Structure 1
Amino acid sequence: MSPGRRPLAEMPLRVRYHECDGQGIVFNAHYLAYVDMAAFEVEKALFGSHQAFLATGADMVVAESNLRYRAPCRFDDELVVSVFLSHFGTTSIVYESEIRRDGKLTTEATLRYVFIDPATLRKSPPPPEVREAYAAYLPASATS
């Protein structure tokens, strides 16, 4: 993850007891849930709500996900999930997320989403207003 980028959204959360496994560490699948929850915060920040995003005529589905665990998170930890835009293509977008505890990086996630037409559920380029909403967050090397 590159330093100095501006996040699309940041979401604080506190680890709940039931999210931990027998070793007392957040169960691996919950990290994907955290990142997914933060993706909805992106829609809220850029469009006002998930419904407003859908009203543009676009939707997104996850096509690929990758997690890298740097340090364990435990019950009652206060975390912050930050979402950054790393790529905006013709029909796909890539978010890089960082999960931090007290400023220390615990988890990195990369998710590639594909834009779809909500009516047909087929891959479709996003409308201009969606592309425009992301433009301010787009790294110079992220288009293609």
Structure 2
Amino acid sequence: MTERRPLVEMPLRVRYHECDGQGIVFNAHYLAYADMAAFEVERALFGSHDGLLATGVDLVVAESNLRYFAPCRFDDELVVAVYLVHLGTTSMQFELEVRRGDTVTTEIRLRYVFVDTENYRKTEPPPEVRAAYAKYLPETV
């Protein structure tokens, strides 16, 4: 069995303008929610996005996948939980859950690539960056 603990759990309230003509959150907004949560991860681990950049690396999205299970609507109170599921040599993978209460409404999978801040080429993160993320890898129990 694998024990997961979130890097962050970001509360979020759906705003009116995020909803489409059907009255539900327009699908593209879920990627914006994921991006907001990823910056919250950086804040938790490095103090801010600038704190990550000061290490000489940045992150770029290489792949995203979303699965929708239940619609979210205006004024819903959501929580976006971010889990680290893989930490490779130059990339890592997050799984995110968007929840309304106990209901998982959306699952998002993001693969990020580490790039250096000078020329934005793929690179290995410095040891302190790797260690900050590695603490959140799932443990087998």
Flag whether TM exceeds 0.5 (same fold). yes
Q: Structure 2: which amino acid aligns with 1:86?
A: V
Unaligned stretches of 5+ residues in structure 1 = none
Name whichever of 132-141 and 12-21 sits farther off. 132-141
1:138, CA displacement in angstroms?
1.1
The Cα offsets for residues 30-87 of structure 1, whole Å up to 9 and x where unpaired, read as 0000011000000011111111111011100000000000100000000000000000
Moved over 3 A (4+): none
* Paired amino acid for 2:130: R
Is the contact between residue 62 and residue 113 of structure 2 (CA under 8 Å) also seen in structure 1? yes
Partner of 1:75 in structure 2? 74
Q: What SS does the aligned partner of 1:43 have?
A: helix
In the TM superposition, residue 4 of structure 1 has moved relative to its aligned partner by 4.0
Q: How many residues align structurally?
A: 140
Structural mapping, 1:1-144, within 5 Å: 4-140=3-139
Residues 94 and 109 of structure 2 are in contact (CA less than 8 Å); yes or no, is this contact kept in structure 1?
yes
Amino acid of the residue matched to residue 17 of structure 1? Y
Asked which structure has the greater RCO (Cα within 8 Å, sep 6+), the reply is 2
What is the CA-CA distance between 1:115 and the residue it aligns to? 0.3
Greater CA deviation, 128-137 or 105-114? 128-137
TM-score norm. by structure 1 comes to 0.94
**Structure with the bigger percentage of strand:** 2
Distance 1:140 1:63 in 2: 25
Task: Give 1:3 shift.
Answer: 7.3
Q: Secondary structure at the match of 2:78?
A: strand
Change in CA separation of 1:67 and 1:3 when aligned onto 2, cut-off 3 Å: farther
Shift of 1:140: 5.0
C-alpha displacement at 1:139, in angstroms? 2.4
Percent of counterpart pairs with the same letter?
A: 73
Q: Which one is further off, 131-140 or 59-68?
A: 131-140
